[in-house]
Structure 1
């Protein structure tokens, strides 16, 4: 009986491996991520504690396959350095850079003046200051 169970388990394992093996389908899109540069930030300059302040962030992508992926934040005291990460999916994307917009939501749990520095170039930033009352 133990031999039968072992043989059945081996057969099930082999069959399941055959059904889940990799296919040779090369049509899956390649996804690449990279940092995009911010050109403009618009929104309120004041806000309240624990209330989101939405900011419209305009950034540039290399071609029409580029889209927003996520924000990468580095915080130090009341200053946040923010980068936009874009993802590129697909083929036949063209070579014309284009602008995209995304909403960044800032929220603070303390009163103060906050400087949000969005990466414009390797050494320059678009700075947006928000005063939380």
Structure 2
């Protein structure tokens, strides 16, 4: 009898743990989008192995939009960069807003580097940095 009660207790504990760990947000809507950059500020020169940070501004469609990651394509000393955002949820309102996110990099070779931030389907905001 004692063994049966122990097994029943273990089963109840296991089942309750499963329900406790299941997320209420399983049906949450998550959408990623590539957004266009509206402004980029930062230095024009830096030293080798120095952290360099650009402040990158971009628009999101509503209050559910937040920065997710930078998408980068490298060709020689030119890096093309696009902002990817993540929209979570469905009750977001309709008010667009501008967000700013740092873009930090470090280069270990002297030279002139070009950073092209996508600002429209065919245009870029370009920042040139001389590393000395």
TM-score (norm 2): 0.80
Secondary structure at the counterpart of residue 107 of structure 2: coil
Cα distance per residue 1:22-80 (max 9 Å; x no partner): x6956642111010110000011100111110110001111111000000000000100
Structure 1: which 4+ aligned runs deviate by more than 6 Å? none
Q: Which runs of 5+ in 1 are unaligned?
A: 1-11
- How big is the alpha-carbon RMSD for the aligned residues of Structure 1 and Structure 2? 2.5
Deviation at 1:132, TM superposition (A): 0.2
Most deviating of 42-51 and 86-95: 86-95
Aligned to 2:5: none
Aligned to 1:101: 100
Q: Name the count of aligned residue pairs.
A: 121
Distance 1:30 1:47 in 2: 42
Distance 1:26 1:132, change over 3 A: closer
Distance 1:25 1:131 in 2: 50
Aligned to 1:85: 84
Distance 1:109 1:43 in 2: 18
Distance 1:24 1:36, change over 3 A: closer
More helix by share: 2
Matches within 5 A, 1:1-133: 19=18, 25=24, 28-133=27-132
